[in-house]
Chain A
Amino acid sequence: MSSELFTLTYGALVTQLCKDYENDEDVNKQLDKMGYNIGVRLIEDFLARSNVGRCHDFRETADVIAKVAFKMYLGITPSITNWSPAGDEFSLILENNPLVDFVELPDNHSSLIYSNLLCGVLRGALEMVQMAVDVKFVQDTLKGDGVTEIRMRFIKRIEDNLPAGEE
């Protein structure tokens, strides 16, 4: 499938949401929800195809996300930087974001987080492997920054409903 079709489809989705909700915050929330629903399904596809084992710490997780997952689904390899001293927060730096090819944000949508779907996907996928994380954009090329930066913070390990053998 061509990446143009993907970019166009995503763009149509965001603009329709903007028309439906009129308020940038609501659109951001919807994108996050949609991303979450994608993430909980995508994780199984990822695990089935990539054969990676369970990650035992957040650094491993970061590596797998950047080097395997992003490569598999978006064809890009973001770099991992800005680790917090406690090792529970890091940044993913994307040089180019295939979702925003050819996109310009107009002035009346300055608080729209265009690629917020990605945050939802990451959050949903990690929740299914028992990790609660907080994901947000801190820099966005659409808003004039040089690179796109996603900040991921580990909240806690989800202890209920653990698959047997994981305690």
Chain B
Amino acid sequence: MAIFSVYVVNKAGGLIYQLDNYAPRAEAEKTFSYPLDLLLKLHDERVLVAFGQRDGIRVGHAVLSINGVDVNGKYTAEGKEVLEYLGNPANYPVSIRFGRPRLTSNEKLMLASMFHSLFAIGSQLSPELGSSGIEMLETDTFKLHCFQTLTGIKFVVLADPRQGGIDSLLRKIYEIYSDFALKNPFYSLEMPIRCELFDQNLKLALEVAEKAGTFGPGS
């Protein structure tokens, strides 16, 4: 998947729409016996691998499920603390699935507001008047493209660095927004977008853009 996610931010900096489009990330499930040779720690309401790496499990991976049952942050599905559970030899052997933690929706909201502020700072830093603000943020693993409309809505797309045609994709997303979100009379402006048709058409547009642009490596 060469286009990773789409974010739509309203005038006030609040996230009104978010779509994740990446293939399942690297996950590893292994059976362990006591004692666990990975060092786990609690961080930000999740149990992460602090030290120790083997068989595809890396530092920074989070505990996603124990014995096939998804964990709930730092608690198991039954409500026990994961670290306590794994510290008890009676619970072994245990099968744990590790993987790169996904962002929670609160974290996404925070990131969107932070981006909104950075965008404002970006245009103020500009030596010339009337700067467009941040249009692209580039890293070695992804490129973030941003388009701000004249009315203050921002469309942000995270894509593979090699993916082309994102500018026209951003304009297309603007059109889809003006069609399926705004023309829906039950959608209130500046509120989170919960329109099925918007979702469907956006996914279609992403597929078209992925096929048309340069290909990245498969997922």
Contact = CB atoms under 8 A, between A and B. Distances in A.
Interface residues of A, number: 19
Nearest to B11: A161
Contacts of A44: 149, 151, 153, 174, 177-178, 182
A41 B189 contact: yes
Contacts of B130: 165-166
Contacts of B124: 164
B123 A45 contact: no
Nearest to A51: B171
A126 to B, nearest CB: 11
A165 B132 contact: yes
Contacts of B153: 44
Contacts of B183: 41, 45
Contacts of A41: 178, 182-183, 189
B73 interface: no
B174 A165 contact: no
Interface residues of B, number: 28
Given A128-B151, A129-B151, A165-B132, A48 B119 contact: no
B151 to A, nearest CB: 5
Contacts of A49: 175, 178
A163 B131 contact: no
A163 B178 contact: no
Contacts of A43: 151
Q: Select the residue from B11, B126, B130, B150 with max chain A CB neighbours within 10 A.
A: B150
B133 interface: yes
B68 interface: no
B150 A47 contact: yes
Interface string B161-190: 000000000010011011100110000010
Given A41-B189, A44-B177, A48-B175, A163 B182 contact: no
Contacts of B177: 44, 48
Contacts of A47: 149-151, 174, 178
A21 to B, nearest CB: 21
B123 A165 contact: yes
A54 interface: yes
A92 to B, nearest CB: 21
A138 B124 CA distance: 43
Interface of B: 11-12, 116, 119-120, 122-124, 126, 130-133, 148-153, 171, 174-175, 177-179, 182-183, 189
Closest 8 CB pairs of A and B: A165-B123, A163-B152, A164-B120, A45-B178, A41-B182, A44-B178, A48-B174, A48-B175
5 contacts: A44-B174, A47-B149, A47-B151, A54-B150, A165-B126
Given A51-B171, A162-B152, 6 more contacts: A41-B178, A41-B183, A129-B150, A161-B11, A163-B150, A165-B130
